[in-house]
């Protein structure tokens, strides 16, 4: 799609970071250069992990990875813009949001390996981590189920008189689920303090947005629910932060939810199990490569004298070393205990699970290699 | 002690829970001003306000999805699904989210709530106001399933369910909503989850039933007693985790077992109960176990009395099992 088409729509795209690296003063969220450096480190970390984990998956060392190549600014920027009190309801592509919130790298890598130190006890696929202490909710694979939950969480807090918001991430595909409809509708009717952040990355696995909806934009879907929608350049860190801050200001004024459509692009496959060459060509990637969200932030920082090649090399080395150390430790950690399979199904083991646990422990072990 | 029917007893349980804990909130279609289509929540909107007795839009998946979120926050939601037949839009939230939250987050999150829903036939409700879908919830690891048969148990079980750390699907047998009258203590009391009740002791055959069909089992038991056959009728009360000890010790005594339920026969709860009995008391059995159930058809409107396993079908089945063994 040509960028001009966006500007012709009823939902113009917010852009703050101009091509020359300067900011539009009208929408500038006024982030200190120091903070931009802080965010940039997480943008780079997220991308480094994507690259490294994809390689590990190809080597057969981790089972799976779902990355966010090209979408980092929308993800990390939105998380940065939140207040400490606010909760994140992720889809499965928001590693950067968890990291900038403070998810420990080792904890994440242990989840990728499903080992004994994995806090979700090796029960889920890789990239399905949880981090309650950083207000980052448990990840599930079904698309959209977190949307109504994010609304319920914020609604509960509202009933309880607590000042917090939830931000729910989802992709463009999720807007076709009943959860999107129900969540937007409930949030609209009850003025629930939820920020709906749709990462319009162009694709739901192989299905393009044109086959996901006949709406001209995703932002306009909010109108039907009485939820204001805004569209931002999702590859513009500053625009994403400005939009989330505007949504928070609306929440603080008691005005309820906002839908943000962040226009970005899934530069990689849906996951390591996907081969995007089957359904799209390089020519579709090229315009987005030119709008790489990381490059744009780096250009900004260089312009402000806050970044240079030496710093970049140091950061890359630091991330690489931390990653290697975490992987070495995770690979040396044994799998979860057999007994742990039965924990946490119920608060207490019912008789049926006590019996089955006994059967497993006394029975034959699965052959190696499974 | 006050006399109440099941509707009044459940209403009283909700009032007790909401008075004791401001985190308890109700949400559902028509539960507020009108007090629910069966009036189970009558008066609670006036007493506790629109914030805690929420008239929700017509969205079962939204109601349960939002309730999951509320529970994660720390509220104690008691959502109502107007008829169990309408649970299906919410089933994804129950199967993939509610039942797995504690497990999949390694214990960091849980979503404790009670989904109340009227269930069962015999009210001229046709396909969509009559079904009895307990097995679709019994089969879900992480979910508890409860169904009272009388007013006393309804209140005590609901208060236990609301206090329970696990998600509970609480089926309310609507056919006996008003017929099941009895003495109900005031204030807070608990009927424990996971405990069945032997409601009629007997030596010849164990009859397992729950909800509205308990009364059919009891009616059949008194009829066959006139012919010298003594049924031991057990009200399961909690379907999962089922009270296996009470079932097995009864079958070991009687040597025979019949299960009565409204839901279709194939893969019905009777199949699981009879398998458990076979695993744990096979050599005590003196006759083939019986499934006295609904048929494997959609729930029919005009012929509902023929479809349901009423006492006229229980009596001959029980007599034959006892006399053949």
- CATH no. for residue A29? 3.40.50.970
Beta B231-235 vs B197-200: how paired, if at all?
A: antiparallel
The answer to whether residues B178 and B234 belong to one domain is no
Do B254 and B135 fall into the same domain? no
Q: Which domain holds residue B319?
A: 197-324
Last residue of a domain, one of B137, B155, B183: B183
Most A CBs within 10 Å, among B73, B112, B141, B160, to test the A interface: B73
Find out whether A225 and A197 touch, Cβ atoms under 8 Å: no
Residues B141, B260 within the same domain: no
Name A166's bridge partners: A87, A194
CATH code at B238?
3.40.50.920
Q: Which of A165, A45, A366 is nearest to B73 (CA)?
A: A165
Q: Are residues A92 and A132 in the same domain?
A: yes
Predicted confidence at residue A6, as pLDDT, reads 43
**Which among B87, B4, B62 is positioned nearest to A177, based on CA atoms?**
B62
Is residue A318 located within the same domain as residue A345? no
Question: Minimal CA–CA distance to B171: which of B261, B231, B68, B234?
Answer: B261
Q: Does residue B138 share a domain with residue B23?
A: yes
User: Is residue A203 classed as helix, strand or coil in its secondary structure?
Assistant: strand
Tell me, yes or no, whether A144 and A223 share the same domain.
yes
Asked if B168 and B251 sit in the same domain, the reply is: no
B/e letters for B14-43, b = 16+ CB within 10 Å, e = fewer, are bbbbbeeeebbbbbbbbbbeebbbbebbbe
- For B208, the token pair is 């397992």
pLDDT at A3: 43
B162 and B245 assigned to the same domain: no
The answer on A268 and A362 residing in a single domain is no
d(CA B94, CA B71) in angstroms, rounded, equals 13
Is B229 a domain residue? yes
**Best B69, B96, B166 residue to mutate vs chain A (most A CBs within 10 Å):** B69
User: Both A175 and A123 in a single domain?
Assistant: yes
The residues of chain B scoring below 50 in pLDDT are none
Chain A CB within 8 Å of residue B93 CB: yes
Looking at the fold, whether A369 and A262 belong to one and the same domain comes out as no
What is the token pair recorded at B163? 């206090």
> Residues of A numbered 335-364 whose beta carbons fall under 8 angstroms of chain B's beta carbons: which are they?
343-347, 350-352
Residues 92-131 of A with CB under 8 A from B: 118-121, 123-124, 128, 130-131
Give me the catalytic one of A65, A93, A270, A298. A270
The DSSP result for A31-100, as a single string, is: --HHHHHHHHHHHHHHHHHHHHHHHHHHTTSSS-----TT-HHHHHHHHHHS-TT-EEE--SS-HHHHHH
Contact residues on chain B for A148, CB-CB shorter than 8 A: 61-62, 64-66, 68-69, 93
Contacts of A140 in chain B (CB under 8 A): 96-97, 100, 104
- Backbone phi, then psi, for A294, in 5-degree steps? -70, -45
Same structural domain, B290 and B209: yes
CA–CA separation, B148 vs B210, rounded Å? Answer: 7
What Cα–Cα distance (Å) separates residue B322 from each residue in A96, A121, B248, B265, B315? 68, 51, 18, 21, 11
8 Å CB contact of B66 and A142: no
Instruction: Tell me whether residue B190 is in a domain.
Output: no
From B183, B206, B235, give the residue that closes a domain: B183
Note whether B168 and B221 are same-domain residues.
no
Residue A270 CA, chain-centre distance (Å), reads 13
Length of chain B (residues): 325
In a shared domain, residues B227 and B160: no
Annotated catalytic residue, options A65, A101, A199, A266: A266
Residues 186-225 of A with CB under 8 A from B: 186, 189-190
* Domain total in chain A: 2
Same domain for B162 and B275?
no
- Out of B153, B183, B213, a domain closes at B183
- Residue A8 pLDDT: 53
Q: What is the three-class DSSP state of B84?
A: helix
Helix axes A72-81, A33-58, angle to 10 degrees: 130
Same-domain check for residues B147 and B277: no
Contact criterion met (CB < 8 Å) for B97 and A149: yes
> Are A69 and A338 in contact, with CB atoms under 8 Å apart?
no
- Does residue B188 sit within a domain? no
Q: φ and ψ at A335, to 5 degrees?
A: -70, 170
Q: How many CA atoms lie within 13 A of B168 on its CB side?
A: 29
Could you tell me if A44 and A131 lie in one domain? yes
Closest CA to B196 of B136, B253, B239, B139: B239
Relative orientation angle of helices B60-73 and A145-159, to the nearest 10 degrees: 60
| Residues B95 and B237 occupy one common structural domain | no
- How far is it, in rounded angstroms, from Cα A309 to Cα B34? 68
**Is there a contact between B119 and B173 (Cβ–Cβ < 8 Å)?**
yes
Nearest by Cα to A198 from A244, A138, A141, A267? A244
3-state DSSP assignment of residue A152: helix
Contacts 24+ apart (CB under 8 A), A115-119: A115/A330, A115/A333, A115/A334, A115/A335, A115/A336, A116/A333, A116/A334, A116/A335, A116/A336, A116/A337, A117/A330, A117/A333, A118/A336, A118/B106, A119/B106, A119/B108
Q: Is the CB of B62 less than 8 angstroms away from the CB of A137?
A: no
Beta carbons of B23 and A140 less than 8 Å apart = no
User: Are both A353 and A258 inside the same structural domain?
Assistant: no
Count of domains in chain B? 2
A253 with A350, same domain: the answer is no
Q: Does B280 touch chain A (CB under 8 A)?
A: no
Residues A217 and A360 in one domain: no
Claim to verify: residue A113 and residue A20 sit in the same structural domain: yes
What would you measure as the largest C-alpha separation in chain A, in angstroms?
69
Whether residue A279 lies in the annotated active site: yes
Q: Phi and psi dihedrals of B26, rounded to 5?
A: -110, 140
Which phi and psi angles does B168 have, rounded to 5°?
-125, 130
The answer to whether residues A49 and A56 touch, using CB atoms and an 8 Å cutoff, is no
CB atoms within 10 A of CB A234: 31
CB contact under 8 A, A137 and B109: yes
What's the pLDDT at A370? 65
CA distance A323 to A45: 9
Q: CA-CA distance, B298 to B294, in Å (whole number)?
A: 9
Distance separating alpha carbons of residues B317 and A182, to the nearest angstrom: 48
Sign of CA dihedral A360, A363, A369, A370: negative
> Residue B212 in contact with residue B120, Cβ under 8 Å?
yes
Question: Which helix (H) or strand (E) segment is A316 a member of?
Answer: helix A309-331
- The tokens describing B78, both together, are 């008691």
Supply angle C-alpha A100, A101, A105, rounded to 5.
70
The CATH number assigned to the domain holding B15 equals 3.40.50.970
**How many distinct helices (H) and strands (E) make up chain A?**
12, 8
How much is the pTM? Answer: 0.97
Element (H, E) at B101: helix B101-104
Residue A344 lies in domain: 339-370
Pairing of strands B168-173, B205-209: unpaired
**Rg, chain B, Cα only:** 19
Q: Do A358 and A298 have their domain in common?
A: no
Q: What is the pLDDT along chain A (370 residues), one digit of tens a residue?
A: 344 444 456 789 999 999 999 999 999 999 999 999 999 999 999 999 999 999 999 999 999 999 999 999 999 999 999 999 999 999 999 999 999 999 999 999 999 999 999 999 999 999 999 999 999 999 999 999 999 999 999 999 999 999 999 999 999 999 999 999 999 999 999 999 999 999 999 999 999 999 999 999 999 999 999 999 999 999 999 999 999 999 999 999 999 999 999 999 999 999 999 999 999 988 999 999 999 999 999 999 999 999 999 999 999 999 999 999 999 999 999 999 999 999 999 999 999 999 999 999 999 999 987 6
């Amino acid at each position: 799609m040509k960028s001009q088409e966006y500007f012709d729509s009823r939902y113009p795209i917010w852009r703050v970071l101009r091509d020359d690296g300067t900011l539009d003063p009208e929408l500038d969220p006024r982030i200190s250069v120091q903070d931009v450096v802080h965010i940039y480190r997480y943008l780079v970390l997220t991308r480094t992990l994507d690259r490294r984990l994809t390689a590990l998956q190809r080597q057969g060392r981790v089972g799976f990875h779902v990355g966010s190549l090209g979408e980092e600014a929308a993800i990390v920027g939105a998380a940065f813009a939140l207040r400490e009190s606010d909760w994140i309801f992720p889809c499965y592509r928001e590693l950067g949001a968890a990291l900038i919130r403070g998810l420990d790298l080792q904890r994440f890598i242990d989840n990728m390996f499903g080992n004994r130190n994995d806090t979700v006890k090796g029960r889920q696929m890789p990239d399905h981590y949880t981090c309650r202490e950083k207000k980052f909710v448990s990840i599930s694979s079904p698309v959209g189920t977190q949307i109504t939950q994010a609304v319920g969480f914020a609604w509960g807090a509202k009933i309880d008189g607590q000042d917090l918001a939830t931000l729910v991430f989802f992709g463009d595909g999720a807007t076709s689920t009943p959860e999107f409809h129900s969540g937007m509708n409930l949030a609209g009717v009850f003025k629930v303090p939820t920020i709906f952040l749709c990462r319009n990355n162009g694709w739901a696995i192989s299905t393009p947005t044109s086959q996901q909806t006949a709406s001209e934009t995703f932002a306009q879907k909010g109108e039907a629910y009485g939820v204001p929608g805004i569209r931002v350049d999702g590859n513009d860190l500053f625009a994403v932060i400005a939009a989330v801050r505007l949504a928070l200001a609306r929440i603080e004024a008691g005005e309820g939810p906002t839908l943000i459509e962040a226009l970005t692009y899934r530069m990689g496959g849906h996951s390591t199990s996907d081969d995007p060459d089957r359904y799209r060509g390089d020519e579709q990637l090229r315009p987005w490569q030119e709008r790489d969200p990381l490059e744009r932030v780096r250009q900004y920082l260089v312009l402000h004298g806050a970044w240079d090649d030496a710093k970049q090399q140091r950061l890359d080395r630091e991330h690489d070393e931390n990653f290697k150390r975490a992987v070495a430790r995770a690979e040396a950690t044994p799998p979860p205990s057999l007994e742990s399979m039965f924990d946490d199904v119920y608060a207490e083991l019912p008789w049926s699970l006590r019996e089955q646990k006994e059967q497993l422990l006394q029975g034959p072990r699965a052959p190696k290699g499974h | 002690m006050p006399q109440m029917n099941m509707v009044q007893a459940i209403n009283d349980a909700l009032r007790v829970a909401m008075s004791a804990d401001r985190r308890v909130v109700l949400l559902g279609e028509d539960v507020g001003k009108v007090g629910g289509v069966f009036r189970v929540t009558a008066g609670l909107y006036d007493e506790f306000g629109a914030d805690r007795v929420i008239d929700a839009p017509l969205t079962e998946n939204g109601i349960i999805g939002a309730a999951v979120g509320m529970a994660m926050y720390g509220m104690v939601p008691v959502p109502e699904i107007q008829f169990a037949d309408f649970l299906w839009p919410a089933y994804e939230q129950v199967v993939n989210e509610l039942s797995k939250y504690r497990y999949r987050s390694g214990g960091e999150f849980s979503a404790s709530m009670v989904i109340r829903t009227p269930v069962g036939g015999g009210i001229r409700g046709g396909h969509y106001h009559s079904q009895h879908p307990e097995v679709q919830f019994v089969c879900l690891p992480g979910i508890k399933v409860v169904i009272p048969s009388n007013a006393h148990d309804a209140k005590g079980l609901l208060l236990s369910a609301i206090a329970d750390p696990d998600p509970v699907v609480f089926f309310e047998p609507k056919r006996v909503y008003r017929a099941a009258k009895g003495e109900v203590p005031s204030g807070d009391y608990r009927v424990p989850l996971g405990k069945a009740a032997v409601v009629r002791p007997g030596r010849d055959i164990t009859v397992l039933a729950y909800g509205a069909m308990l009364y059919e089992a009891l009616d059949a038991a008194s009829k066959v007693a006139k012919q010298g056959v003594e049924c031991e009728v057990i009200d399961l009360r909690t379907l999962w985790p089922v009270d296996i000890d009470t079932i097995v010790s009864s079958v070991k005594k009687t040597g025979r077992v019949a299960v009565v339920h409204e839901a279709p026969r194939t893969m019905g709860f009777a199949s699981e109960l009879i398998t458990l009995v076979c695993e744990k008391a096979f050599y005590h059995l003196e006759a083939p176990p019986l499934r006295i159930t609904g048929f494997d058809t959609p729930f029919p409107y005009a012929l509902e009395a023929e479809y349901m396993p009423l006492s006229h079908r229980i009596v001959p089945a029980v007599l034959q099992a006892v006399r053949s063994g």
